[in-house]
Amino acid sequence: MIFSCSTHKKETSTQGSSTEKTNAGTANKIKLITLDPGHFHAALVQKSMYANVDSVVNVYAPAGEDVQEHLKKIAAYNTRSENPAAWREEVYTGTDYLQKMLQEKKGNVVVLAGNNQKKTEYIKASVDADLNVLADKPMAINTASFDLLKDAFASADKNNVLLYDIMTERYEITTMLQRELSMLPEVFGTLQQGTPTEPAITKESVHHIFKYVSGNPLKRPAWFFDVTQQGEGIVDVTTHLVDLVQWECFPEQVIHYQQDIKITDARRWKTLMTPSQFKQVTQMAAYPAYLKKDVEKDSLLGVYCNGEINYQIKGVHAKVSVIWNFQAPEGAGDTHYSMMKGTKANLIIRQGKEQNYKPQLYIEPVKGTDVKAFEADLKNVLVKVQRQYPGVEFQKAGHAWLAIAPEKYHNGHEAHFGQVTEKYLQFLVAGKMPAWEVPNMIAKYYTTTKALEVAKQKAKSM
């Protein structure tokens, strides 16, 4: 059984009150500066062109493989056969690259995606210099950098510039529909409070060290496996999951980290890599000196890239976890699992073998529900859903219903970087962001960095 109906998409505007910003530098053309790119996410911001962004991008970085790999990816976008980009990269690779960028100020938006050891310092220096910042996650990897990040947000506010992180997972269609349906009490009811052992919302992300990006095997820098530079998994990928918990459970609400967040428990564990696996993904014949501290028996490299956080947010119990394997099974990629428990239904995203490793959203009525009445409610709310997401349908799947979105919504992870950038460009033109964005970014990084602290203390006591 498939539900469908024809509606027109309603135009929506940014919700929530905002603090006005006067960005004189963004009134005309937006000009990007890429600072020390060491992660492929920096290049993905430029996979597409943008109408109000100058095609010349100034790159400031230390000389070496990181910047060269970045420039190769931009060159590939410029020379692709279908819809090639037209970026012109002007590159400076002196040892004083940061000072040079701050002195020359050849753009008004700094894009940051790379070694996380220095990232928070880069952010603070940029906003102190009246530069807007679009930063990849994580913007903080420990308590010290979290404290510096809070200072950076205060400085950005004082200097009327916008500091924002790249939360791509908000643009994945099953997550968007999960959020939409959770706001419809006719079907979802209200969010349960949950318990530490049975949380109201669970999110699990499985990632892979060896993967393909833009059709090519990803070459990772060796420092990616040094948690003092990259950060542990509990403060890295979990950033996305914590963001989604806030974004879905408390849409457009301010989260005050000091009173709304309580870490219940946290743990971290290692993924082990063989020397041949390390060589395959880095193209390096041996571990660099800074990784020797992490080499274990049989020359295995142990990396704390896995983590789990159990916490309460505004009294609701949540659990997020990230797992890193070396390589995905054939036909698979990074996967996501998510469950939101409502008083009337559970909203579950699965992305396993049964789903052909494509995320699918299931609407499962709670036990004891009158199925015919629930089905009628689903038909009624579909009209509301289609106003926001035209073409979405609900299809019966056993004791649940499957939310089916047209293919146009399944544009892939790489395309989400362009969508985040477009949203940020809208903020720049408007000179403001929704009032909840900044406090919620601060709450997010408090959650991850505090959880790391708890996990380390727990490990010491065992």
The CATH number of whichever domain residue 198 belongs to comes to: 3.30.360.10
Does residue 126 lie within any of the structural domains? yes
Q: How many domains does the chain have?
A: 2
Is residue 195 domain-shared with residue 159, that is, in the same domain? no
Does residue 11 lie within any of the structural domains? no
- Mean pLDDT over 301-326 rounds to 97
- Mean pLDDT over 363-379 rounds to 95
Note whether 95 and 20 are within 8 A (CB).
Answer: no
Given 415, 430, 446, the domain boundary residue is 415
Does residue 367 lie within any of the structural domains? yes
Is residue 158 domain-shared with residue 192, that is, in the same domain? no
Note whether 448 and 311 are within 8 A (CB).
Answer: no
Q: Which pLDDT does position 3 carry in this prediction?
A: 37
Q: If pLDDT is split at 50, 70 and 90, which confidence band does 293 have? A: very high
Q: Tell me the pairing of strands 345-350 and 261-273.
A: unpaired
Percent of the chain past pLDDT 90, that is, above it, reads 87
Give residue-wise pLDDT tens across range 42-51.
Answer: 999 999 999 9
Given 120, 144, 166, the domain boundary residue is 166
Given 102, 135, 166, the domain boundary residue is 166
Helix, strand, coil shares of the chain as percentages rounded to 5? 40, 25, 35
- Structure tokens of 305? 């890239």
Does residue 195 lie within any of the structural domains? yes
DSSP 44: H
Note whether 222 and 284 are within 8 A (CB).
Answer: yes
- Mean pLDDT over 148-158 rounds to 98
- For residue 462, the number of C-alpha atoms closer than 13 Å in the C-beta half-sphere is 8
Torsion of CA 219, 359, 111, 433, to 10 degrees: -170
Is residue 121 domain-shared with residue 189, that is, in the same domain? no
Is residue 132 domain-shared with residue 274, that is, in the same domain? no
Is residue 94 domain-shared with residue 121, that is, in the same domain? yes
Does residue 148 lie within any of the structural domains? yes
Quickly count: other Cβ atoms within 10 Å of residue 370's Cβ.
10
pLDDT(16) > 70: no
pLDDT(12) > 50: no
Does residue 274 lie within any of the structural domains? yes
Stated as kind and residue range, the H or E segment containing 177 is helix 173-182
Is residue 143 domain-shared with residue 245, that is, in the same domain? no
Does residue 26 lie within any of the structural domains? no
Is residue 281 domain-shared with residue 242, that is, in the same domain? yes
pLDDT(78) > 70: yes
Is residue 309 domain-shared with residue 394, that is, in the same domain? yes
Is residue 308 domain-shared with residue 266, that is, in the same domain? yes
Give 456's contacts (C-beta < 8 A, 6+ positions apart): 268
Is residue 99 domain-shared with residue 210, that is, in the same domain? no
Is residue 68 domain-shared with residue 202, that is, in the same domain? no
**Which residues form the domain of 401?**
170-415
Is residue 75 domain-shared with residue 182, that is, in the same domain? no
Does residue 140 lie within any of the structural domains? yes
Cis previous bond, 138, omega within 30: yes
